[in-house]
Amino acid sequence: MRLCLFVFFSVTLAMAVEPSLPPETAALLKRGNDEYLAGKYQDAARDYSEAVKDSHETCRLCLEGLALSKARLGDASASLKLADKALGLAATPMHKASAHNCKGEICLMYANTDPKKLTEAETEYRAVAELIPNNSATQFRLGYVLLREKKVDEGVALLNSFVISHPAGPDAELAKKLIAHPAHAGNEFAPSFSFKTAQGVPIDSTALQGKVVVFDFWATWCPSCRASVPELRDLSKHYPAEKLVIVSISEDSKPGDWSDFIARKHMDWNQYLDERGQTAKAFGIHAFPTYIIMDSDGAIVQRIVGMDPRESLVHRLREELATMIK
């Protein structure tokens, strides 16, 4: 799974409501913006589409919102055509930058399956940089894309500029990780986290740096999760604790059921009850079980969702772990 960078800059530009819009169209645009930010892309696409119709395809921001929503829903071709329409309506440098950035975001979304899209994303972000010089968000985006393209020196230079202008915050931390480990530009980095396990052991992202970690997101009400317990136990015994850390993070709503289950099943490795779901949300977990391997640099190198009846969990993890743990 690749690093997710798509929302910040494009949505920042697109969250304004064009003053010339009729109230009904402006309301549709705002609702689409809110739905997009909430991850409700189908609903956002519907409202953006209505706003585009109401404006007779003259609302640039409506077109950009619809383009991004369509991209999120898997329609790359339609989304890029919509972004081009928005670019055709752009009258000012800021408007043109917004439309170019929209196209860059869409290309970046699809770069995993179509490497040519990285080159297109670079072209779009360079256009934004020419229109709005020294824009920090563009430095971050373009720097990341250049690292993905193995243009390391220029990419690192741009990310360094970003860190200097924005030394604090999660994006700065991510930029620092990319600067330190340019080869990981194609990977997702684990978010910051901190909690105490059922065994009373403090676990946080800083303390786990330098270690290979398997995160097991599960719940006692999930049959596949329960079925994987013996394999996780075997995995915990196969590798020494100083080389592999296993952390099971439960989404159970009843602490008693959870604690009884882990005691009954002798789940002696790190166990944590994520009662409010904050850790699962930070890791982008949408289904159970989900298994994540984090390498010693803090990069997520494998994400397995669900169980495969044809192949054991240990077998699915073994090849990746074998290359990481000597």
Structure tokens at 158: 């741009």
Q: Are residues 127 and 203 in the same domain?
A: no
Residue 179 lies in a domain: no
pLDDT score of 56 more than 50: yes
Answer with the one of 116, 133, 150 that is the final residue of a domain.
133
Q: Are residues 294 and 201 in the same domain?
A: yes
Q: Are residues 116 and 232 in the same domain?
A: no
Q: Which residues pair with 100 in a beta bridge?
A: none
pLDDT digits 0-9 by tens, 224-283: 999 999 999 988 888 888 889 999 999 999 999 999 999 999 999 999 999 989 999 888
How confident is the model at residue 17, as a pLDDT? 52
Which of 72-86, 98-112, 205-219, 304-318 has the lowest average pLDDT?
304-318
Answer with the one of 133, 151, 166 that is the final residue of a domain.
133
Q: Where are the alpha helices (DSSP H) in the chain?
A: 8-14, 23-37, 41-54, 60-72, 76-89, 93-109, 116-131, 136-148, 152-165, 170-180, 223-227, 229-238, 255-264, 278-282, 313-324
Q: Are residues 120 and 12 in the same domain?
A: yes
Residue 142 lies in a domain: no
Q: Are residues 127 and 35 in the same domain?
A: yes
How confident is the model at residue 10, as a pLDDT? 43
Q: Are residues 318 and 199 in the same domain?
A: yes
Structure tokens at 225: 């999760």
Q: Are residues 92 and 212 in the same domain?
A: no
Answer with the one of 109, 133, 157 that is the final residue of a domain.
133
Residue 176 lies in a domain: no
Residue 156 lies in a domain: no
Residue 2 lies in a domain: no
Residue 35 lies in a domain: yes
Instruction: With beta carbons less than 8 A apart as the criterion, state whether 214 and 289 touch.
Output: no
Q: Please, which pLDDT band fits residue 15 given cuts at 50, 70 and 90?
A: very low
Q: CA Rg, the chain, in Å?
A: 22
The residue range of the domain holding 204 is 194-324
Average pLDDT over residues 129-143: 92
pLDDT score of 3 more than 60: no
Q: Are residues 207 and 318 in the same domain?
A: yes
pLDDT digits 0-9 by tens, 183-235: 878 777 788 889 999 999 999 988 888 889 999 999 999 999 999 999 999 88
Domain count within the chain: 2
User: What is the rounded average pLDDT for all residues in the chain?
Assistant: 88
Residue 157 lies in a domain: no
The CATH number of the domain holding residue 312 is 3.40.30.10
The CATH number of the domain holding residue 32 is 1.25.40.10
Residue 139 lies in a domain: no
